[in-house]
């Protein structure tokens, strides 16, 4: 059996679906469903057990698992409750890591590109303590993930008892089905698809930096199927450990993303540019791009989906249908 925390969330539910489709139903999901419709991410899926967070420690006691895939976290970049984030994103992660070390269970967990902060220190997934300590996350969420990365690498450096496999995944800008419960944390495609279909314009920020055109701010957008493929490859390759960026390695602009959405609808792009709010103008990231050399050297050799193909699949397979869930 495999334990999947955050299994009703965005990446977690897509991983669950992929594993089910590959013929694996023996998965225990740990999550909170709440009242925002997140349960729909599990509709039609197979799972062996559903474990509420309050029961997790008791449920793990004496149990043997094939692996723990820890995707659960408070992932809002605007979260402000530091104690809650540290309990969920740091202390729970440490407890799971230590349990996996004690029981010799592979441990794969979600880190985040938010750990890189404004990108001034680059986007290299160098897992040395010296490299990690140079990173300065810009929000509480990124900091909580960064603190856990540091704690893991410190344990590795001290040669503490470790899980037989440990892997942290710094996800960049993942988009795709089952992200609808995330509110303002949804991708731009999900948030603005209905506007585009209704014939309205999509508003993007003007650039306030010399040499960068309006709408040409760039991110490393990765379709969720590709993010899932990396997790599944790690599950199937237990000899690989480390911290890895999960992005395409190719930054694309918000204008490219929106143009791909209009193309998927068979329409010419309709874009308006608006001033960036003063409150975020000084801290806004103009560029993120994953360095994926570590992932390639570890043996992951699959191609990544282009932004045009990923948006097309998302629009035609999910957003432009009555049932948008995977």
Active site residues: 141, 182
How far apart are the C-alpha atoms of 291 and 229, rounded to whole Å? 17
Tell me the two tokens of residue 202: 């999509």
Buried b (16+ CB within 10 A) or exposed e, 1-25: ebbbbbbbbbbbbbbbbbbeeeebe
- Distance between CA 116 and CA 77 in Å, rounded? 13
Q: Which residue from 272, 271, 256 is spatially nearest to 311, judged by alpha carbons?
A: 256
| Residue 267 CA neighbour count, 13 Å, CB half | 17
Nearest CA to 5 out of 40, 48, 52 is that of: 52
Question: Could you tell me if 221 and 175 are in contact, meaning their C-beta atoms sit under 8 angstroms apart?
Answer: yes
How many CB atoms neighbour CB 159 within 10 A? Answer: 7
> Which residues touch 47 (CB under 8 Å, ≥6 apart)?
7, 16, 25, 27, 28, 29
Nearest Cα to Cα of residue 168 among 77, 97, 250:
97
């Amino acid at each position: 059996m495999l334990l999947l925390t955050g299994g009703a969330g965005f990446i977690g539910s897509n991983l669950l679906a992929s594993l089910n489709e590959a013929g694996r139903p023996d998965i225990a999901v740990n999550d909170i469903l709440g009242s925002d419709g997140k349960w729909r991410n599990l509709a039609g899926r197979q799972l062996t057990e559903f474990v509420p967070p309050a029961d997790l420690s008791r449920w793990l006691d004496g149990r043997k698992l094939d692996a723990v895939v820890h995707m659960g976290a408070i992932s809002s970049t605007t979260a402000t409750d530091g104690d809650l984030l540290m309990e969920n994103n740091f202390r729970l992660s440490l407890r799971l890591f230590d349990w996996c070390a004690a029981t010799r269970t592979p441990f794969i967990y979600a880190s985040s590109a938010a750990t890189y902060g404004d990108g001034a220190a680059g986007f290299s997934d160098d897992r040395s303590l010296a490299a990690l300590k140079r990173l300065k996350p810009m929000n509480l969420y990124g900091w909580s993930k960064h603190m856990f990365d540091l704690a893991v690498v410190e344990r590795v450096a001290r040669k503490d008892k470790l899980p037989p496999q440990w892997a942290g995944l710094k996800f960049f800008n993942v988009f795709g089905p089952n992200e609808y419960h995330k509110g303002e944390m949804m991708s731009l495609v999900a948030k603005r698809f209905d506007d585009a279909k209704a014939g309205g314009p999509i508003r993007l920020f003007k650039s306030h930096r010399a040499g960068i055109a309006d709408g040409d701010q760039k991110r490393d957008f990765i379709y969720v199927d590709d993010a899932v493929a990396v997790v599944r490859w790690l599950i199937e390759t237990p000899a690989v450990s480390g911290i890895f960026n999960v992005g395409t390695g190719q930054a694309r602009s918000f204008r490219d993303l929106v143009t791909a959405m209009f193309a998927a609808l068979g329409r010419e792009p309709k874009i308006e540019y608006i001033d960036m709010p003063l409150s975020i103008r000084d801290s806004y990231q103009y560029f993120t791009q994953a360095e994926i050399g570590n992932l390639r050297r570890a043996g992951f050799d699959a191609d990544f989906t282009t932004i045009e193909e990923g948006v097309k699949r998302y629009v035609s397979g999910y957003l432009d249908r009555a049932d948008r869930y995977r």
